[in-house]
Amino acid sequence: MHSRFRIEFLKCDLNAYCYWRQTLHIASMKKSLLTSALAVTLLVSACGPNNNSSSAGSSGGGSTCASRAYENIGGPISLVDHTGAPVTQEDYKGKETLVYFGFTNCPDVCPFTLSVVGAAMDLLPADVEKPRTLLISVDPEQDTPEALAQYVESNGFPDELIGLTGTPEAIKAAADEFKTSYKRIDAPDSTMGYTMDHLSILYLMDKDWKLKTFFTSEAAPKDVAGCITELADN
């Protein structure tokens, strides 16, 4: 299956809500799977406003890195990591963390985004601590700790990549905290019999597990690295 994802940042300021729109066009490479393109548009509202005025915009007049520290994005999680150990957000405090929702059988946007993160980590200055990266699976049926343990070792992915899974209820609760969405789509001719449609947003959490900013799938490694550097210790 071939998929094409496009995410647009629609609106975000101090006195309004943030909206992301992801348009997912899925075109089957097998006529029996899908005979025409399927377009799915998801509108997700992220509750605002941002009460952290010091990080609401860029740190410099000409900067392209905007910190969007919205208080209602991000929150408690209770999942299992790729070693089988139960974890919560408390395990990830004390160091900045990139959070991404995806799945191991994702054909394009997930490995692409994680490769962008891996490349971005290599661009960070020596005096900037590299954030860890969490991949929270939206497909617990396939993504066991064992499957995630193999996946996180993929070439080009960030060195400190941790896979998280859990019950469907626990994953849904985590997704709700991050105001993100995902949906199972039947694909009867595929190996699994289904695939997952999901928003592709990369969240940067600070050392206290509060949102610092986010990136869409259009961000290049230099954009991610530049933003992390600019917001370091803020």
pLDDT single digits (tens) 72-111? 999 999 999 999 999 999 999 999 999 999 999 999 999 9
Q: What is the mean pLDDT of the chain?
A: 77
Tokens 């999901």, located at residue = 198
The pLDDT > 70 percentage for the chain reads 71
Tell me what the mean pLDDT of segment 177-200 comes to: 93
The identity of residue 12, as a single letter, is: C
Tokens coding 87: 């974890």
198 annotated binding-site participant: yes
Q: Are 113 and 102 in contact (CB under 8 A)?
A: yes
Answer positive or negative: Cα dihedral of 223, 228, 221, 9: negative
- Residue 205 identity: M
**Residue 88 contacts residue 189 (beta carbons within 8 Å):** no
143-147: average pLDDT: 98
* Cα–Cα distance for residue pair 169/28, rounded to 1 Å: 30
Residue 59 predicted with pLDDT over 70: no
Q: Please tell me whether 12 is known to bind a ligand.
A: no
Domains of the chain in start order, with CATH, are 53-230 (3.40.30.10)
CA dihedral 214, 19, 208, 176 (to 10 degrees): -120
Query: Does the annotation list 227 as a binding residue?
Result: no
Closest CA to 81 of 130, 33, 144: 144
In one letter, which amino acid is 2? Answer: H
